[in-house]
Structure 1
Amino acid sequence: MPLVCLTDFQAQARERLPKASWDFIEGAADEGITMRDNMAAFKKIRLRPRYLKDVSQVDTGTTIQGEAISAPICIAPTAFHCIAWPDGEMSTARAAQAAGVCYITSTYASCTLEDIVASAPSGLRWFQLLVQPDWQLNKQLIQRAESLGFKALVVSVDVPVIGKRRDDLRNQIDLKANIKLCKILQSPDEAKAVPSSLLAAMNAFFCWDHIPWLQSLTRLPIILKGILTREDAELAVKHNVQGILVSNHGGRQLDEVPASIDALAEVVAAVQGRMEVYLDGGVRTGNDVLKALALGAKCIFLGRPILWGLTCKGEKGVEEVLNILKEEFRTSMTLTGCRSIAEINRDLIQLSRL
């Protein structure tokens, strides 16, 4: 039976993966309320199509941080792709390059940054930094990513500690303990010099005061991932960062926060066009992508569905997931009368009374 939508890949991936690996990918914090809300919130938004337009030509192309992408559908940072497929992030990078979209590589990638770059040399890559307690290690990671041609630094701000993920605790899974620092540091000698426990910890001291320090280390645009409120969006503007990725970490950190799509309008209003705003969390259909853009997102990033595709068919599965969503999005644009990304606006949507 052909896989025709993202949830088809979800069902097949669940059958293929061991329970502990599946629970890790699908896991949520505490009761999983936010994870479920991420998807349900999209369904409370209705579309307002405009007809009798010439939609014989529809262009899904756009830009993020000045770089062209084929559609506003990119890949969010997720860890340990080798759980899903032997080639892990190398396969993901090749699929992103083939699809013409951006791939944000996680600090906790299971392949070396060199191998990821070599596997897709012309792909658009951003690097996600999960800030570590060792500031020298953070400096090494940032400068290493920049030297390898990553085009932006995506700093996760919502992980001062790891959220309580009940399934991982029940399964006694501890993937972080198996991270090999040589995967991301420059050489085996550097890896030996850094205790392996460092990457198993987060930096609870990281705060707004450290943003200028990050900016001093790199010429890359800095994107803050995890902002959910007007107040933090205004502080992001004050600190002269280049973008915000509205995200609740896929419901894996603090439970019972707003769904990403529900937080988006507040952040967009606070930013007032002074930086690009993106979204991840809960996107499963082309209509979801259209709704996010109508509410002000420049682009959406996919998390779990990428791992579903990787589990099912490796690189080809990720390509299929991206292409299915791109085609659904093109259909959504066509059926609502949008011939280009520029024609997508707030008038296309209404909140449902459901």
Structure 2
Amino acid sequence: MAKEGEKMLSVADLERAGSKKLPDSIREFYNSGSTEQLTIHENSRAFSKYRVRPRVLVDVSKADTSTNLFGGQRVSFPLGVSPAGVQAMAHPDGETATSRACAKRGVSMGISSFSNYSITEVRSAGTNVAPIIHVMQLYTMKDRDLQLRIIRDAELAGCTAIFLTADSPVLGVRYNEWRNDFRTPAGLAFPIIELTTERIQNQTHDSGFTAFNDDAHNWTRDIPWLRSVTKMQIWIKGVLTAEDTLLAVQYGCDGIIVSNHGGRQLDGVPATIDALPECVAAANGRIRVHVDGGIRTGTDIFKALAFGAECCWVGRPAIWGLAVSLSMAVACQMGSVHTECLGRPAENSFAA
């Protein structure tokens, strides 16, 4: 728990408090980016380049931040918690706690293939609290049968869409993981990709990823195959250019997530808020556009929406919330974007 009287008034507060709770190797796994870490820092800094032109004497007494996503499902406001893996390193309840908190706050959640809990467990944890949208993050895998089993499990559990991670033909070069010889702690498994803790302990994070991920992935092979095996929506996560946006349109995808993997994959690529306008222009209303990367305030969300995004996603703030055993009320900590949370700090009770 956070210290008595300690108030989490911003995501920056949450980052400081959460990071202090984590062992060095785990903190660096969550917080660091690839190689020189240019992109991870630029993601947040880039928002400061853009200014808001406020209008005054506007009646906001009945302001409504709710919106429809994924073809009509209602959320309390345009924010989701990104699919981030190995959340049980931050708190034993991991992804199930995140799911409960997202349901409580009326926002969406992505389930990572590297979740420490099964799709059914994560989804049930949320739906037992309130209706919630879950999407399933998926890699292109060498084992097509395993990939299909994940899809079927996601369909059966009631997930709305697949977020196909397209920017990871190989794992990003993260110096801290190599220096620390980072390995997922003993006792934690990856049930979605069917890896037991014993198997995980016998490999590094990097070698484990290489073993199952298919670096031969491509638009022509993988998108038609996904369309042939599922009726879930298909979104491409990791788009940063107009050219790839047009390919997503060409191959009949339902949407894209403008993302650079939180700066954890290819370093030196644009901040997502900088890449967003060209992707929105290329989409031209034909597919939906979401964005993640460096979003830390309600004003950041406002700017992304002004540039044409339909929804924003955050990853690390959820991890920090788990680390300090907060309620994961990321909505409140995004400031003025959620009218019900105006002027209040986040709750200090964990969503158990």
For normalisation by structure 1, the TM-score amounts to 0.87
CA drift at 1:242: 0.3
2:337 maps to 329
| Alignment map for 1:230-309 (pairs within 5 Å) | 230-309=242-321
| Alignment map for 1:206-217 (pairs within 5 Å) | 206-209=217-220, 210-217=222-229
For normalisation by structure 2, the TM-score amounts to 0.87
1:105 maps to 111
Check conservation: 1:27, 1:168, Cα contact below 8 A: no
1:184 maps to 192
Write the letter of the residue equivalent to 1:222.
Answer: I
Write the letter of the residue equivalent to 1:203.
Answer: D
Match of 1:5 among 6, 10, 17: 10
Give aligned-pair identity as a percent. 37
1:63 maps to 68
CA drift at 1:164: 0.5
Structure 1 residues 265 and 176: alpha-carbon distance in aligned structure 2, compared to 1, 3 A threshold: farther
| Alignment map for 1:1-354 (pairs within 5 Å) | 1-65=6-70, 66-121=72-127, 122-175=131-184, 180=189, 183-184=191-192, 201=211, 202-209=213-220, 210-314=222-326, 316=327, 318-319=328-329, 321-325=330-334, 327-330=335-338
CA drift at 1:94: 0.2
State the secondary structure of the residue aligned to 1:128.
strand
CA drift at 1:198: 6.5
State the secondary structure of the residue aligned to 1:164.
coil
Check conservation: 2:89, 2:185, Cα contact below 8 A: no
CA distance in 1, matches of 2:9, 2:256: 32
CA distance in 1, matches of 2:247, 2:104: 37
CA drift at 1:328: 2.2
Structure 1 stretches lacking a partner, 5+ long: 335-354
Bigger fraction of residues in helix: 1
Check conservation: 2:189, 2:195, Cα contact below 8 A: no
Structure 1 residues 198 and 218: alpha-carbon distance in aligned structure 2, compared to 1, 3 A threshold: farther
Check conservation: 1:58, 1:330, Cα contact below 8 A: no
Write the letter of the residue equivalent to 1:58.
Answer: A
CA drift at 1:57: 1.5
Aligned residues: 323
CA drift at 1:180: 3.6
Check conservation: 1:133, 1:198, Cα contact below 8 A: no
Write the letter of the residue equivalent to 1:152.
Answer: A
Write the letter of the residue equivalent to 2:252.
Answer: N
Check conservation: 1:176, 1:200, Cα contact below 8 A: no
State the secondary structure of the residue aligned to 1:204.
coil
Structure 1 residues 250 and 177: alpha-carbon distance in aligned structure 2, compared to 1, 3 A threshold: farther
Check conservation: 1:176, 1:199, Cα contact below 8 A: no
CA distance in 2, matches of 1:118, 1:62: 23
1:348 maps to none
